[in-house]
Amino acid sequence: MSAGVRRPLVAALLLALAAPGARAEGPVLRAEVDATKIGVEDQVQLTLTLEGGGGAELPLPPLENLRAVAGPFTSSQMSWVNGVTSQTRSATWVLQPRAVGKARVGAVTVDVEGGKRTSAPIEIEVVKGSLGPPPQAQRRGRPDPFADPFGDPFGGLAPGRARRGPEPKVKIRALADRTKLHVGEPLVVEFVIDTQASVSDLQLVEAPQFPGFWSEDLEKRDGPPNGEAVTADGESYRRFPLLRKLLFPTRSGTLTIPAATFRLGFPRESLFDPPRPPAERSSEPLSVAVAPLPAGAAAVGTFRAEASVDRPQVPLGEAVTLRFVVTGIGNLKWVEAAPELALAGAKVYPPQSKSEFSATARGLEGSRTWEWVVVPQTAGALEIPALALDYFDPKSGALARAESQPLRIEAAATAAGSAPAPARPDAAAPGLRADLEPPPTRLFETPAAVGTALALAALGHALLAWRPRALSRGPARDLRGQLERAARGGSTREELAGLVERALHERFGDLAAIEETPLVRDARALLADVQFLRYAPQLGDYSEKVRELAARAAALLRRSA
């Protein structure tokens, strides 16, 4: 048993023997602090003690201009006098002033057996700065409330037992798996605590910062429950992992990871020892040397690539989805730009991309996928060249390339032996004019025929004058209503594309052939967005975009009415 445990216990036993006729009195509740004048940078210990009263809870008293930074640290003591048992319980907190001025520990009431007990309030003066040594040393010249007033009867037998050994050391360290690397190369940094003491609480005061790095979280490394034994700076410690980060330098030069600060709490060494105030420990700044990448490297790591199409044969004018996938380990998550793709004889829509990555100690493992919509515009074979990603391989220290195989698409003509260009969605239906034209007749061979021709011309002029109003009241109004319903949701992108293309054709005819006006320019932009939506790869939910384009189309028809 240590001296800190034995001495108060010995004092209690001697007091009991000195007063054999003593009789247990009613419960007593008192609050005490170890200093009533402190600096704003100091801390003060508050102890609430209940003598008797059973197992009542001891709450933190109300505080003014003070805050609790540690605790409660609780202890209890049982005594037996002339067959009567009594219990003394205490709770201790470490308090920190908030500002210079008056501070106060308020009264607190505790329910005990047979009634209530209330502690007296305590006034504390808080001044600037610090009053010097910690409160434990400030009590020099005053009696130690934890000391045995009768002395240690066993001190002469073992003079060295009451002396404590050296203060145990606790250190926070930042450990890196390397100190030299290239831009974009993964770096694992782990924060650990090396300790020679028990730590009861751990909180971040200043979170780690990583200027000049892209950071990803890593799962904390599993270790033995009691930590692993290590030797650092010639001393023995138990090491516990705190957190790990996967970092990627974003620029070359010497990059420094600043210190991270943690607040540590310590348990009592025994039931009757005063609590140790919390302490703060910081890691040392960590510097790494980062070399630039060679020109032409889009990524860093090890990768492979492959390309595919959803179908190798397609009718002329229909779409094919081209997929390019790069898989590997490195910083591929950075790479946004897709390989350049331009195909003669085909319309290529801008690609969509998606990624799937998980952070590991080797880097980001996973894949990035790009998908293009390709619409052949001429019949026959369409050659898709190899797609590639140039990257820097840290293992070889040289540039490397991940490249797919070339692909081939067959576009079938719409009629045997012919290869007509695909019809544009904004063009009029082919052949209508020829279908409506009657066979040639000799209308002007007689006067009656001349009169008939003049009457037909007048009727045609009247029809031309009536057509815009009829369109606005008839088919155009119906299409506008359908578009307004689509704007409220429920339409697919294919349904919307057909509806918008039909509405624009009814209102404007061939958009490519008419003179440009602000209204026509808006209609052409709308048509381009609708065509892109129709052929966009299935990489997400397009319902919001469908509603947006339907609303734009309905508004355009209202403007043109």
Query: Which residues are bridge partners to 364 per DSSP?
Result: 330, 359
Longest dimension (CA), the chain: 152
The domain tally of the chain equals 4
Residues 174 and 196 in one domain: yes
What are the pLDDT digits (tens) for 43-59? 888 998 888 766 678 89
- The strand pair at 115-118 and 84-97 is best described as unpaired
Name the domain boundary from 238, 256, 291: 291
Which tens digits make up the pLDDT trace of 67-122? 998 878 877 665 544 445 567 788 888 899 999 999 999 999 988 877 888 999 99
Report the pLDDT value the prediction gives residue 322, as an integer from 0 to 100: 94
Quick one: 195 and 98 in the same domain?
no
Structure-token match 């200093």, residue found = 35
The pair of structure tokens assigned to 123 is: 């006034």
Question: Considering 252, 269, 291, which residue would you say is the last residue of a domain?
Answer: 291
283 and 378 inside one domain: no
Indicate the DSSP class of residue 457: H
Q: Is residue 461 in a domain?
A: no
d(CA 557, CA 374) in angstroms, rounded, equals: 30
Same domain, 192 and 285: yes
The string of pLDDT tens digits covering residues 177-193 is 999 999 999 999 999 99
Residues 309 and 284 in one domain: no
Residue 201 above 90 pLDDT?
no
Query: Do 83 and 134 have their domain in common?
Result: yes
Across the chain, mean pLDDT equals 76
Query: Is residue 55 included in any domain, yes or no?
Result: yes
Residue 155 included in any domain: no
Residue 298 contacts residue 391 (beta carbons within 8 Å):
yes
* Cα 381 from chain centre: 47
First to last CA, the chain: 98
185-189, 305-309, 459-463, 533-537: least confident range: 459-463
Is the pLDDT confidence value at 27 over 90?
no
pLDDT value for 479: 78
Answer yes or no: is 441 within a domain: no
Q: What is the number of alpha carbons within 13 Å of residue 269 lying toward its C-beta?
A: 15
Q: Are residues 273 and 337 in the same domain?
A: no
- 409-428 per-position pLDDT tens digit: 999 876 544 444 443 433 33
Q: Are residues 182 and 234 in the same domain?
A: yes
Report in angstroms the alpha-carbon separations of 464 from 458, 461, 467, 468: 10, 5, 5, 8
pLDDT digits (tens, 9 = 90+) for 229-283: 888 888 889 899 988 999 999 999 999 999 999 988 887 666 666 677 888 889 9
pLDDT at 400 over 90: yes
In a shared domain, residues 182 and 201: yes
Whether 458 is in a domain gets the answer no
DSSP string, 221-252: PP--TT-EEEEETTEEEEEEEEEEEEEEE-S-
Q: What percent of the chain is helix, strand and coil (3-state, nearest 5)?
A: 20, 40, 40
Residue ending a domain, among 272, 291, 310, is 291
Q: What pLDDT does residue 138 have?
A: 41
Structural domain containing residue 198: 170-291
% of the chain beyond a pLDDT of 70: 72
Q: In this prediction, what percent of the chain has a pLDDT beyond 90?
A: 30
- Residue 424 within any structural domain of the chain: no
Residue 66 φ then ψ, to 5°: -140, 155
Q: Is residue 484 part of a domain?
A: yes
**Residue 42 near residue 135 (C-beta atoms within 8 A):** yes
Among 517, 518, 482, smallest CA distance to 500 is for 482
Look at residue 368 in the predicted model and tell me its pLDDT: 93
CA geometry: angle 13, 17, 21, nearest 5 deg: 130
- Are 32 and 58 in contact by the 8 Å Cβ rule? The answer is no
CB atoms within 10 A of CB 467: 10
Band (pLDDT 50/70/90 cuts) for residue 332 is confident
Q: Assess contact for 34 and 140: CB atoms under 8 A.
A: no
Which of 216-225, 309-318, 361-370 shows the lowest mean pLDDT across its residues? 216-225
Indicate which CATH number applies to the domain containing 381: 2.60.40.740
Structure tokens at 263: 């607040």
SS (H, E, C) 348-417: ECCCEEEEEEEEECCEEEEEEEEEEEEEECCCEEEEECCCEEEEEECCCCEEEEEECCCEEEEEECCECC
CA distances from 459 to 57, 435, 474 (A): 103, 21, 20
Do 280 and 304 share a domain, yes or no? no
Please indicate, yes or no, if residue 316 is contained in any of the structural domains. Answer: yes
Which of the four pLDDT bands, split at 50, 70 and 90, describes residue 21? Answer: very low
Does residue 240 sit in the same domain as residue 130?
A: no
pLDDT at 211: 92
Which CATH number characterizes residue 73's domain? 2.60.40
> Alpha-carbon dihedral of residues 500, 501, 506, 508, nearest 10 degrees?
100
Query: Where do we find the tokens 């052409």?
Result: 524
* 0.75 surpassed by pTM: no
275 and 309 belong to one structural domain: no
